[in-house]
Amino acid sequence: MITFDKVSRRYGDRVAVDHVELEVPDGEICVLLGESGSGKSTLLRMVNRLVEPSSGLVLVQGQDARSVHPQQLRLKIGYVIQSVGLFPHWRVEDNVATVPRLLKWPPRKISERTDALLDLVGLPPKLFRTRFPHELSGGQAQRVGLARALAADPPLLLMDEPFSALDPATRRGLQTSLRQIHQETGKTILFVTHDVEEAIVLADKLAVLDDGKLVAQGRSRDLLRPDAPYPVRQLFGQEAIAFHRLATIPAQMLAEPGDYGMAPVLEPNASLKQALMMMLAQGAPAVKVAETASTPGGTVQWSSLLERL
């Protein structure tokens, strides 16, 4: 758990972070969302003491961050940034092993851990272990950055716009991978983005910053309402807020028993936004949600979807 207790950061007259009170619960992905300059990175960097608060407290797993030496603190906290920051003359395996080596793990344990992590982030070790960073695509490099951050199994991960420099398809792939990795590892993740769709896809908890102030926090589906605070409506777009809300609701929730013949079929974990997009793309009044061993599937109709908007 990370707790921000009335945390502020001032630079001269400028208030970058203004009395923020926020908890990042254990095992959740908390997304800090806000326009450029709203204070997201400043707040995130206070967790690993790259920035110190001007006032207030940052508690990392119940402990005042200031009471722990920054180097000790950073060993417990994985950090992933947009520019990745891999060491260019080190092979992938050496980059991933950075922190375990600092911790003087035995070589065999480091080697096994490197293989396991490369598998986890979707880079087969046989193909990627010995490559250099310049032999990787941007998405692959970011996957190595994620493996490196996870190497010593830290309970917390800080991710500062990690996918912002990637093309949309690669970015979606990494978002899906991150959710899967999160499910498998149960890490507590604080993730910064200014991309509203990325925030909705990833957030268990969404925290919206505006001009250094925390203006809303909660589950996306609870925040995305017509009566949301003005900065939230402005960020998501007044007209688009209902559309974004559909992305937070599983299509499965509106699926009714019955088969409407030739209706197109959605994946079992698709959202209502995907259902709507498929209806629009195919001119279909209904879509089927595929069944799984644990969910019955069924049909979502245009009329019931409109009622949810």
Interaction residues for ligand ATP, span 186-205 (CB under 6 A): 194
Q: Which stretch binds ligand ATP (CB under 6 A): 11-19, 71-79, 170-178, 231-239?
A: 11-19
Between CA 151 and CA 147 the distance in angstroms is 6
- Residue among 194 and 205 whose Cβ is closer to ligand ATP: 194
Give the one residue of 11, 64, 107, 292 binding ligand ATP; rule: CB under 6 A. Answer: 11
CB of 191 to ligand ATP, least distance (A): 12
- 162: exposed, middle or buried (C-beta count within 10 Å: 0-12, 13-18, 19+)? buried
CB of 56 to ligand ATP, least distance (A): 15
Q: Which stretch binds ligand ATP (CB under 6 A): 10-18, 101-109, 133-141, 168-176?
A: 10-18
Instruction: Classify residue 290 by its DSSP letter.
Output: P
User: How many CB atoms are closer than 10 A to CB 48?
Assistant: 20
Place of tokens 């375990």: 100
In contact, 247 and 238? CB cutoff 8 Å = no
In contact, 1 and 163? CB cutoff 8 Å = no
Q: Which stretch binds ligand ATP (CB under 6 A): 8-16, 197-205, 248-256, 284-292?
A: 8-16
CB of 194 to ligand ATP, least distance (A): 5
116 membership: H or E segment, kind and range = helix 107-120
Could you give the string, one character per residue 21-60, with x where binding to ligand ATP holds by CB under 6 A and - elsewhere? -------------x-xxxxxxx------------------
In contact, 109 and 100? CB cutoff 8 Å = yes
Strand ranges across the sheet with 63-64:
14-24, 2-11, 55-60, 63-64
Could you give the string, one character per residue 126-155, with x where binding to ligand ATP holds by CB under 6 A and - elsewhere? ------------------------------
Q: Is 110 in the site for ligand ATP (CB under 6 A)?
A: no
Pick the closest to residue 260 from 285, 282, 278, 283 (CA basis): 285
- Residue among 199 and 251 whose Cβ is closer to ligand ATP: 199
- Residue among 43 and 246 whose Cβ is closer to ligand ATP: 43
3-state DSSP assignment of residue 268: coil
* β-bridge partners, 2: 24, 60
Place of tokens 């598998």: 119
Identity of the amino acid at 57: L
- Residue among 194 and 288 whose Cβ is closer to ligand ATP: 194
Residues in contact with ligand ATP by the rule CB under 6 A: 11, 14, 16, 34, 36-42, 194
